[in-house]
Structures are given as structure tokens and as C-alpha cells.
């Protein structure tokens, strides 16, 4: 059993929810992906693996995985939303290429620290943030 499964089982148990085969299948597939994906991507890939899990269940399970802290939803300008697993990864932010759609990840410690400082100055209790840099990637200048 992978760590993410243990974490998900604990989360569901504490909430009085059930660990179903659909939820396990979605968790394992999401943990196997190393890109940013849309709900439809995930749904099609599960069907190709022979699993017939409904659209609704994919949405519902992703909401649980987000609440559990295993998955993150990216605030895309254009729908549909993109998701990625963050369990076992350090925090990062994103650059979106406006031409080719490429998503570049980065982490910058000074930006993270200044965010903390700005929040403190405004007596704002920060629980999270998202920073998106828009523009054109190396190939698309």
C-alpha cells in the first residue's frame, strides 16, 4: 500500500466515509500521473484501463482528494480546471504559456517569504496562495 492510500483511508475513516474500489482506482491513477490533467483526461484514461467509473464520481472523488490534501486544483483562466497530485511533492507555482499551453513549474523562496511578510503586515492569516505567471515559453517567443 502506498503512503497516499494510507492517508486517504485515514481521511475517509475519520469522516465516516467509505473506501470504495472507485476511489482507490482514481487515487492510484492520479498518483501515477506526473502532468497536470483535466477531469475529462482522467475519465478517459480510466475508461481505457477498462474501468467504467462515471463522470460524477470522478468529480466527487477529486473533491475528496483535494480536501484530503493529496490533490491540488489549478486556477485556470479558461475552463476546464486542471488538477495535479501534490502528495509527496514540495510546493511550487506555475507559468502558463499563452501560445502552446505548456505549464512550467517553479519554486522561489524569496517570493514565498515576502508573501508571508505582506500577509502579516495586513494582519491577514494566510492559508494558501496561487501565483500564475502568464506569457510565452522559450519555444514560443
The residue ranges that bind Mn ion (CB under 5 A) are: 84, 105
| Helix (H), strand (E) at residue 112 | helix 109-121
Distance CA 111, CA 93 (A): 10
Least CB distance to DNA at residue 71 (A): 13
Size of the site for a copy of itself (CB under 8 A): 34
Which residues, 6+ apart, have CB-to-CB distance to 115 below 8 Å? 126, 129
Cell, residue 16: 465516516
Choose between 9 and 102: whose C-beta lies nearer to a copy of itself: 102
Distance CA 48, CA 76 (A): 26
Q: Is 33 in the site for DNA (CB under 7 A)?
A: no
Least CB distance to a copy of itself at residue 48 (A): 31
Q: Which residues bind a copy of itself (CB under 8 A)?
A: 75, 77, 95, 97-98, 104, 106, 108, 110-111, 114-115, 117-119, 121-138, 141
Amino acid at each position: 500500500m502506498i503512503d497516499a492510500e494510507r492517508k486517504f483511508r485515514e481521511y475517509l475513516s475519520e469522516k465516516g466515509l467509505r473506501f470504495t474500489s472507485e476511489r482507490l482506482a482514481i487515487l492510484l491513477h492520479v498518483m501515477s500521473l506526473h502532468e497536470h490533467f483535466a477531469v475529462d483526461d482522467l475519465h478517459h484514461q480510466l475508461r481505457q484501463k477498462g474501468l467504467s467509473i462515471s463522470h460524477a464520481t470522478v468529480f466527487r472523488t477529486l473533491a475528496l482528494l483535494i480536501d484530503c490534501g493529496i490533490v491540488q486544483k489549478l486556477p485556470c483562466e479558461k475552463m476546464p480546471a486542471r488538477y495535479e497530485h501534490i502528495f509527496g511533492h514540495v510546493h511550487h507555482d506555475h507559468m502558463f504559456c499563452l501560445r502552446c499551453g505548456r505549464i512550467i513549474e517553479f519554486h522561489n523562496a524569496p517570493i514565498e517569504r515576502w508573501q508571508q511578510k505582506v500577509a502579516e503586515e495586513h494582519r491577514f492569516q494566510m492559508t494558501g496562495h496561487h501565483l500564475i505567471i502568464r506569457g510565452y515559453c522559450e519555444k514560443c517567443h
